Structure 1
Amino acid sequence: MNTMKRASGILSLLFVASALGSVVEDFEYLEVSDMCGLLPLGTNFLRPNTCDNWVSCASNLTVFEQGTCASGLYYNKTTGRCANAASVTCPYNDVATEPANVCANEIDGAFVMDPTSRTCRGYILCKNRKQIKANCPNELVFHPTSRSCVYQTQYTCPETQTKTASPTCRALTNGTRLAHPKQCVQYYECDDEILHERSCPAQMAYDSARGRCVDMDAAECYEGAVLPEPENTFCLNETGYARVGYFADEESCSQYYICAEPVANKHDTEPKHMSCPLGQYFDSEKLSCRDRMNVRCRLDRCIGTNMAYVNVDGNCQAYGRCSGGLTVSMGHCPSGYYFDERSQGCSQTNYHYIACSAQVSVPTEE
């Protein structure tokens, strides 16, 4: 997989933002160039916490630029132009410049709810009357009464809080997408100033430069974002349909897989991988682990054995010399002699082991 990473260039301020929450949630605290690192190339937006400053992210044809509207004008993020201040609704005019200090009357070391958190994961640690913002671990939310992180079954985040406008989306136009800083198959999207987390379709990933989902092999991921482990497709047949049952491992004659029934029309992506006892191979016809001499193996018979010499598929007079678990050379018994893997030598007796016998084709009727 030749997936590229898009450099973000996050500076030291990012580490401050990370202490407050995720990079995307703390978008407005980042350096402007780092904001562009999360956005598609060529994105224009209102600089956070201003009404008349704008940012134009670099594209393939332009360079990064910042600007300020002329006196008396505000930047309209919808049209991407400066206009008369009276005709533009600035999303930051109604935002308090200095939020109330919730730690003013709290004891040192107290935990309190973060009133700006949209998902109820946020909380504040009071230290010397100062506020230190943080988030509960994934799958947990902050309970304002017990003042602790609990499972979502123990506390339901109020609907009014989850619908609060996102500080990230105030500066961006409706429909703007941002890269997910950790998962390349996910991204964020602003919808009516609410930040939503989205997922790409199967086998696709989010390209942070193009701002859309593309084939995984072609995705330019945000720096630090990772792709999931490739899906196990062993339980799919050549036509793409799920197969169920016991199947030989295509890389080892002594191992096999068990494919379970599909769930919700999805093939088994975690088949059980089993091994036969030492000295035995998996027989696909009898669905059994059998003596390796009684099973025809098309793979290297030196794999998984500590023997020095092994029989060769299709020729009972030939033998293979093993080293490091692989066949390194071939040999041949004298005329009238047959190699016996069990005795590790050539014998005049032909035991007709299935392991080395030529496969007999069944004649068809004319």
Structure 2
Amino acid sequence: MPGLSSSLVLQALLLVLTAHVSTQTRFLNATDDICRLFKDGTKLRKPGSCSEWFECNNSEASESQSCTGTGQYFSLAKNDCYKSIDDSYCSAPSCKGVATGYIGDTRNCANWYYCDSNAVLGSGTCQNGMHFDQVNKRCVYPENTVCAATYELCDIVPSGVLFRDEANCHKYHSCVKNVLKNYTCETGTYFNVATGKCGAKKDIVCDDHPLPEDACGTKKLAMRNKFVSDQATCRGYYYCRDLGSGVPDPDPIHMQCDENTFFNQDRQGCMPRESQKCIYDRCDGRQDGYEVAEDEGCHKYIQCVDGRESTPMSCGEEYFNAATQSCAKTKITYGACSA
């Protein structure tokens, strides 16, 4: 089986890399569900509101609920409805330096305030789903203006709640007195949103694998013009460019073997799945079907369910046949399950 072709090397060299910067600032009208970062049962303040909250379940936000009666505000400190506002997020915007007239709310695109002599004299909310237009100073339909309202995650997350980083599976955060605290899982582990703890990589679904430390070597021994494992998946690898002696590539290009092969760093190529051992999820790239397990003797196999490993099964005294996806009496040996 040949290694990676020269065309793939050329393709890697021609790719333009874009730096992914992790940020906790989000636009109010973002369409992705923030609950993908939080454990089930977590209550969050509804962005743009001080009296509403929602709960995260199955990585989705529930319908928002309103605080009423004597406890009309959602408190981050108490993680519940409370009688008064207890953080700066719900404070009215400053009119300092603003000429007499209307201004929009940076927290909620539907809100407006009337300023006069550096003081807020009035406030209101556009009705029927309309937004306040900062240019024309009036309520308009959302498609006729730009909603630039933003919020920080610590504006909506109760104190002490752990949640995953937006762009890195091995990082997580908490908010303490509205200040973001950053944490990193131990090497070889990712933050598990379901448990709120760090766990084995293969047990955690991740679309944002971090670049391993010293992926392309060090100044003493740089990997130049080489392919290296992404240290997170069975198919993924990086191409480390040749930047000169003692200069490890700081931004290697991430690539992937096709669905029928796994990456082999020693061979510098993609090899048949069943011929390779891999400490990560063997169902990488396979939504369903079966994979040979790495138990010696090749009697066991793994069912792939939605692209993830499930409980291993056994052929008993028979052998698993990767080609037919079934058990067979004829002895079969694969590299994945050999001694």
Global fold match (TM > 0.5): no
Structure with higher Rg: it is 1
Relative to the length of structure 1, the TM-score reads 0.34
